[in-house]
Structure 1
Amino acid sequence: MSTPGTFQKTTVKLKQKDGYLLEFDGGKTIFMPFNDTDKEFDPGDSIEVFIYQDNTGLDTATTFQPTITLNQIELLEVKEVTQHGAFMDWGISKDLFIPFSEQSNRMMEGRKNLVYLYIDRKSERLTGTTKIERYLTEKTLTVKEKEKVDLIIWNKSDLGRNVIINQKHEGLIYEDDIFQNLRYGEKHKGFIKQIRPDNKIDVTLRPFGYEKVGPNADKIYDILLQGDGYLDLHDKSNPDHIRARLEMSKKTYKKAIGLLYRKDLIRIEDDGIYLVESENS
Structure 2
Amino acid sequence: MSELLPGSIQRAEMQNAVTDGFLVRIGKETLLLPEADTELQTGQEIEVFIYQDKKGRLLATKNIPEARLDSYGWAPVIEVVENLGVFVDIGIPKEILVSSDDLPLLKKVWPVSGDNLFVSLDIDKKGRLLAKPINEADVMAELVPASPALLKTPVTGRVYRSTKAGSFVLTEEGYRGFIHPYERKKEPRIGETVTGRVIDVKDDGTINVSLLPLKQEGMKDDAENILEYMEKNGGTMQFSDKSDPEAIRETFHISKSAFKRALGKLIKENKAQQKDGKTYMK
TM-score when normalising by structure 1 = 0.48
